[in-house]
Amino acid sequence: MKRPNWPLVSLRRLLLLLLIPGMLVVTAAEFWLSWATVNDAADAAYDRSLLGAVKSIDSSISTASGGLGVELPYRMLEFFELTAQGQVFYRVASEDGLVEIGSAGLPLPPLPLETGRPQFYDGVYFGQDVRVGSYARVLTEPLAGQLPPQRVVVQVAETMEARDDFRQNLLLRTLFRDLALIVLATGLLILSIHWAMTPLSRFRKEVEARDAEDLAPMSAEGVPAEVLPVVSAINQHIARAQEQAELRRQFVDDASHQLRTPLATLSTQVAYALREQNPAEQHKVLESIRAQLDQTIVQTNQLLSLARADSAPLDFRTFDLTWLAESVVSRWWVAARDQSIDLGLDAPGTKLDFKGDADLLRQALSNLVHNAIRHGGPGCHVTLSVRAYANAAGKEFVSLCVVDNGRGLASADLERLGERFFRGGDVSVPGSGLGLAFVRTVVQRHGGHTRFLNGTEGRGLRVELDLPRGRCGASASG
């Protein structure tokens, strides 16, 4: 899946772009809550004064004369009006409204009044916004001609100027406080991000200051925990670069080691041929040069194959391993027959799927079969076997084995087989010592293991390649 081509954004800028709008949203929510709190605080403070006025008027109500009488506390009302910074209205009436004193038409409460429990609400009185406090209680002596119980209703209303001024001043102070906190928090946020990014800046400078040949792992000292995976990934990349550099160096060493002697020999033979006047002797020298060139070509091809096995990307595909083994045996069958060697195949009669690099595995098996034919000698039996199995943990493997009953190798030599340029102490057949190194490298890159053992009854050589089948489907069992 193709990754989207996102524009490059500074991490500092990205954090600010994410955090500052979030802070503004939180501040807006806090401002809304402050507005609600200011309203509640203003109502609570002013409603307390309103209730005091209601209680004062209630205490002045009398029904001793048979009617409803009120001796208004003028001084208290004047003081209340001064505090309210606006107009004050009052109303005292029987609950049925037949008897009414004061400002008629004050807004009635939205809910039925409960005895002894005041109710505060907003309303409009003659086009003015007012806050009204209403209170009801049962008269000790009902009015003349009325049956008990009878309730009296006391209402006091004030205009909203003082409350609005109080709300506005308190809200402005809250707004200024919130703005100051936003500025302070933004400054702290910028400083915190700068401080948190300092280790990354230092790490970047260390990487930029490195020499091109310096492939030592990066130190994670002082790096935040969140950046440790990045440092680990960089170190893994450095390790791969070290491995590739080592492979290139090793290839150059191998090539110089393997080709220096043949080239020097060729140079000597050519110089000798130029000096020789006898055509027969010149022909012998040219035959030697051709043989040396053929061997040098083989060695060069083996070096290139080994270099590819070391570092080239593998072409993993699913293929039939039985078919691959059959193709290898078919290729070398004529060469084996010419040397009186019995070459056979022991493989499943059905398809055996395997996922790997078919070309490299074919070349590795060809090297093993070729070595067995070259070193086995006339009358030798060489067998390539293929089978599938599962280990104790249930993981599926395939085993590729090439075994012969030829001369074999000493036990000390078996331990060193697979090393580059090692050929054993008693081997007289010419070669480069790279074939088995190539086989071992191919198996390692497929996640498998190579074993070099003595053949049947201690004769010959047995080479076993164990390879994990991975995610391949098992269409046959060996």
Question: What letter represents residue 238's amino acid?
Answer: I
Quickly tell me which residue has 């053949």 as its tokens: 455
Q: What is the pLDDT of residue 391?
A: 84
Which of 17-21, 177-181, 421-425 has the highest average model confidence (pLDDT)? 177-181
Q: What is the pLDDT of residue 452?
A: 86
Distance CA 404, CA 423 (A): 17
Measured in whole angstroms, the distance separating CA 414 from the mean position of its chain's CA atoms is 47
Q: What is the pLDDT of residue 132?
A: 92
Same domain, 321 and 463: yes
Of 265, 282, 311, which one is at a domain's C-terminal end? 311
DSSP state of 429: S
Question: What letter represents residue 414's amino acid?
Answer: L
Q: Determine which of 123-137, 275-289, 335-349, 414-428 has the lowest per-residue pLDDT on average.
A: 414-428
Q: Determine which of 199-213, 226-240, 411-425 has the lowest per-residue pLDDT on average.
A: 411-425
Q: What is the pLDDT of residue 307?
A: 61
Residue 182 resides in a domain = no
Among the listed residues 111, 120, 196, the one whose alpha carbon sits nearest the alpha carbon of residue 158: 120
Q: What is the mean pLDDT of residues 459-468?
A: 89
Residue 219 resides in a domain = no
3-state secondary structure of 310: helix
DSSP state of 320: E
Residue 475 resides in a domain = no
pLDDT at 5 over 60: no
Q: What is the pLDDT of residue 304?
A: 65
Higher pLDDT, 351 or 456: 351
Among the listed residues 477, 453, 478, 475, the one whose alpha carbon sits nearest the alpha carbon of residue 464: 453
Q: What is the pLDDT of residue 148?
A: 77
Q: What is the pLDDT of residue 249?
A: 72
Same domain, 463 and 331: yes
Residue 161's domain is classified under what CATH number? 3.30.450
Q: What is the mean pLDDT of residues 6-26?
A: 71
* Tokens matching residue 37: 């709190």
Q: Model confidence at 386, in pLDDT bands (50, 70, 90)? A: very high
Same domain, 333 and 400: yes
Higher pLDDT, 182 or 382: 382
Q: Which residues pair with 101 in a beta bridge?
A: 92
Supply angle C-alpha 141, 143, 149, rounded to 5.
55
Q: Model confidence at 420, in pLDDT bands (50, 70, 90)? A: low
**H, E, C per residue of 125-185:** ECCEEEEEEEEEEECCCCCCCCCCCCEEEEEEEEECHHHHHHHHHHHHHHHHHHHHHHHHH
* Tokens matching residue 261: 């002697």
Supply angle C-alpha 165, 169, 173, rounded to 5.
170
Query: Which residues lie closer than 8 Å to 184 by C-beta, 6 or more apart?
Result: none
Q: Determine which of 97-111, 118-132, 165-179, 259-273 has the lowest per-residue pLDDT on average.
A: 259-273
Distance CA 298, CA 397 (A): 33
Q: Determine which of 251-260, 341-350, 358-367 has the lowest per-residue pLDDT on average.
A: 251-260
Residue 199 resides in a domain = no
Q: Determine which of 150-159, 222-231, 318-327, 410-419 has the lowest per-residue pLDDT on average.
A: 410-419
Q: Determine which of 56-60, 126-130, 227-231, 430-434 has the lowest per-residue pLDDT on average.
A: 430-434
Residue 187 resides in a domain = no
Same domain, 299 and 423: no
Q: CA neighbours within 13 Å on the CB side: how many for 215?
A: 12
Same domain, 379 and 444: yes
Among the listed residues 347, 406, 414, the one whose alpha carbon sits nearest the alpha carbon of residue 379: 406
Same domain, 332 and 464: yes
Cis? peptide before 199, omega within 30° of 0: no
Among the listed residues 178, 177, 181, 173, the one whose alpha carbon sits nearest the alpha carbon of residue 38: 173
Residue 450 resides in a domain = yes
pLDDT at 401 over 90: yes
pLDDT tens digits for range 210-268: 777 777 777 777 667 777 777 788 888 888 777 777 767 766 666 666 566 667 777 77
* Tokens matching residue 297: 């070509």
Q: What is the mean pLDDT of residues 26-53?
A: 82
Asked whether 406 and 372 are in contact (CB, 8 A), the reply is yes
Q: What is the pLDDT of residue 321?
A: 92
Phi-psi sector, 477: left (phi>0), alpha (psi -120 to 50), beta? beta
Distance CA 118, CA 58 (A): 12
* Tokens matching residue 310: 């070391």
Higher pLDDT, 419 or 161: 161
Q: Model confidence at 429, in pLDDT bands (50, 70, 90)? A: low
DSSP state of 61: E
Residue 411's domain is classified under what CATH number? 3.30.565.10
Same domain, 154 and 92: yes
What is the rounded end-to-end Cα distance, in angstroms, of the chain? 38
User: How large a percentage of the chain has pLDDT more than 90?
Assistant: 13
Asked whether 419 and 408 are in contact (CB, 8 A), the reply is no
Number of domains in the chain: 3
Same domain, 297 and 332: no
Of 279, 311, 343, which one is at a domain's C-terminal end? 311
3-state secondary structure of 219: coil
Q: What is the pLDDT of residue 477?
A: 35
Residue 257's domain is classified under what CATH number? 1.10.287
Distance CA 246, CA 96 (A): 106
Q: What is the pLDDT of residue 475?
A: 36
pLDDT at 85 over 80: no
Of 250, 281, 311, which one is at a domain's C-terminal end? 311
Q: What is the mean pLDDT of residues 55-68?
A: 78
Residue 300 resides in a domain = yes
pLDDT at 288 over 60: yes
Q: Determine which of 46-50, 77-81, 438-442 has the lowest per-residue pLDDT on average.
A: 77-81
Average pLDDT, the chain: 78
Which of 57-71, 173-187, 361-375, 463-477 has the highest average model confidence (pLDDT)? 361-375
Q: What is the pLDDT of residue 241?
A: 77
Same domain, 444 and 325: yes
Q: What is the mean pLDDT of residues 120-129?
A: 91
Q: Model confidence at 478, in pLDDT bands (50, 70, 90)? A: very low
Residue 414 resides in a domain = yes
Quickly tell me which residue has 């191998």 as its tokens: 254
Same domain, 114 and 251: no
Q: How are beta strands 396-404 and 353-356 bridged, if at all?
A: unpaired
Rounding to the nearest 10 degrees, give the CA dihedral for residues 202, 205, 211, 212: 120
Measured in whole angstroms, the distance separating CA 38 from the mean position of its chain's CA atoms is 47
Phi/psi at 14 (5° precision): -65, -45
Among the listed residues 122, 118, 203, 204, the one whose alpha carbon sits nearest the alpha carbon of residue 160: 122
How buried is residue 316: exposed, middle or buried, by Cβ count under 10 Å (0-12/13-18/19+)? exposed
Same domain, 73 and 25: yes
Same domain, 288 and 401: no
Q: What is the pLDDT of residue 324?
A: 92
Q: What is the pLDDT of residue 432?
A: 55
Q: What is the DSSP string of 224-277?
A: -GGGHHHHHHHHHHHHHHHHHHHHHHHHHHHHHHHHHHHHHHHHHHHHHHHH--
Q: What is the pLDDT of residue 49?
A: 82
Which residue range forms the structural domain that includes residue 276? Answer: 228-311
User: How large a percentage of the chain has pLDDT more than 70?
Assistant: 78
Question: In Å, what is the CA distance from 290 to each residue of 12, 219, 280, 304?
Answer: 69, 56, 15, 21
